[in-house]
């Protein structure tokens, strides 16, 4: 039983044998990490000639040594050897001058339904496996960045035709309405990535989180190729106005017919109710046409970007990583159109699992991101979070103390 450094091709062949692994453990992610100044290594535990556990680790220099991360891994074929992998990883880190090793497992700790009610028992074994080896556990946390709460959906068994039926009662009409506006989606080229950066910058300023630099998105584009799509949702407001006018004309004809029917049967309560309902809808169309004209006055005859998202596809999962939208266009629900697109694209690519990624892990109704994702009727995976190992704890403590003093 040995821990070995693997070549990229052998590592990829190993991943191809698994039913589940994280996008963050792919060779494409290794290329991105390298472009950003990290040193990457593929490590595998071999038993009687067969790889049973493997993972991508990356390191960066830190004062006095190296910082090593195993992010959303390792990738396991045989769980009987998982603790052996962690033990040998710990020894490997010590032998290679690592001062801090951080392990962030991708395995589920516990699963919850769409509303945050537990549907599985907590898996304490993986926590015990690491703490028994001397790893310090950060504990459970909440929040988009630290909580490791992911909203996911099983796409297996669904088709493009049945996808909408799988959404929630609120989600089905939301997507239907969003699609009725005539919104188009398209991928951005590399030269257009500043458009994506503008969307995410606008959103990060509004929501008070740190955005990635443009270079990150460019590196991402280069590293993942056609496995990543920087998608934008656009709307031409002249086309939108024409669409509204056509629908309002159809409604006007329905009202006219009902009025003629009432002349013959003036006591029909059903037709009176229909006229009231259709008249209300007609007035709504009038308001929407006025709003559309205002957008035309501002933007003219061009496709205007409403929202954007970065989606990544692997054979085992599609994942939703970064996104943004302009509040000016909130009423068009463009993010719902993008979510509808990515799930249909995943189904077309025979990908069985979609990861909407982060939510806060707070189920009191305050998480707006969760409320949006609940429209698509998935479930929640809580991953355990961070474990830290210090091969030379005394040296690490001394350096940490000195750094604190110097900062003062």
pLDDT digits (tens, 9 = 90+) for 178-207: 999 999 999 999 999 999 999 999 888 777
Predicted pLDDT at 396: 86
Predicted pLDDT at 43: 98
> Helix or strand or coil: residue 97?
coil
Question: Which domains, from first to last, does the chain contain?
Answer: 2-105+385-407 (3.40.630.30), 151-235+302-382 (3.40.630.30), 238-299 (1.20.58.90)
Verdict on whether the full-model pTM lies above 0.95: no
Predicted pLDDT at 112: 98
Q: Is the pLDDT of residue 314 over 60?
A: yes
pLDDT in tens, 122-157: 999 989 999 999 999 999 999 887 879 999 999 999
> Using CA atoms, how far apart are residues 213 and 79, in angstroms rounded to an integer?
38
Taking alpha carbons only, the member of 327, 330, 357 closest to residue 342 is: 357
Which is more confident, 402 or 54? 54
222 falls in which pLDDT band (50, 70, 90)? very high
Residue 230 phi/psi, 5-degree rounding, is: -90, 95
From residue 204, give the alpha-carbon distance in Å to each of 13, 210, 211, 217.
38, 6, 6, 15
Predicted pLDDT at 114: 98
Predicted pLDDT at 204: 81
Q: Is the pLDDT of residue 406 over 80?
A: no
Predicted pLDDT at 408: 52
- Got the DSSP string for 172-232? HHHHHHHHHTT-EEEEPPGGGHHHHHHHHHHHHHHHT-PPPPHHHHHHHHHHHGGGEEEEE
> Helix or strand or coil: residue 341?
helix
């Amino acid at each position: 039983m040995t821990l070995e450094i693997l070549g990229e091709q052998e590592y990829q062949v190993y991943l191809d044998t698994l039913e589940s692994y994280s996008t963050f453990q792919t060779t494409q992610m290794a290329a991105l990490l390298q472009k950003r100044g990290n040193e990457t290594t593929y490590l595998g535990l071999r038993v009687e000639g067969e790889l049973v556990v493997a993972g991508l680790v990356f390191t960066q220099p830190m004062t006095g040594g190296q910082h090593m991360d195993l992010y959303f891994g390792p990738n396991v074929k045989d769980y009987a050897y998982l603790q052996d992998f962690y033990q040998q990883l710990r020894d490997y880190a010590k032998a290679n001058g690592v001062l801090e090793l951080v392990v962030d497992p991708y395995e589920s700790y516990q699963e919850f339904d769409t509303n945050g009610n537990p549907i599985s028992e907590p898996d304490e074994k993986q926590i015990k496996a690491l703490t028994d080896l001397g790893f310090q556990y950060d504990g459970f946390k909440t929040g988009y960045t630290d909580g490791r709460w992911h909203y996911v959906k099983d796409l297996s068994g669904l088709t493009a035709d049945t996808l909408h039926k799988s959404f929630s009662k609120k989600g089905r009409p939301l997507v239907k309405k969003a699609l009725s506006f005539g919104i188009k989606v398209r991928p951005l080229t590399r030269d257009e990535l500043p458009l994506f950066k503008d969307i995410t910058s606008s959103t990060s300023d509004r929501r008070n989180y740190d955005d990635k630099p443009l270079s990150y998105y460019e590196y991402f584009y280069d590293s993942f190729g056609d496995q990543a799509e920087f998608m934008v949702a656009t709307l031409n407001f002249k086309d939108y106005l024409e669409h509204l006018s056509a629908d309002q004309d159809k409604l006007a004809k329905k009202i006219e017919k009902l009025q003629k029917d009432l002349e013959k049967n003036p006591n029909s309560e059903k037709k009176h109710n229909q006229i009231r309902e259709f008249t209300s809808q007609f007035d709504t169309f009038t308001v929407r046409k006025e709003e559309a004209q205002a957008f035309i006055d501002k933007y003219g005859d061009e496709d205007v970007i409403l929202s954007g998202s970065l989606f990544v596809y692997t054979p085992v999962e599609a994942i939703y990583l970064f996104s943004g939208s302009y509040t000016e266009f909130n009423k068009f629900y463009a993010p719902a159109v993008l979510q509808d697109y990515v799930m249909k694209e995943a189904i077309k690519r025979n990908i069985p699992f979609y990861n909407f990624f982060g939510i806060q892990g707070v189920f009191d109704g305050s998480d707006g991101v969760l409320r949006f994702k609940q429209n698509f009727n998935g479930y929640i995976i809580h991953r355990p979070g961070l474990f830290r190992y210090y091969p030379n704890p005394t040296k690490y403590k001394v350096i940490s103390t000195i750094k604190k003093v110097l900062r003062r």
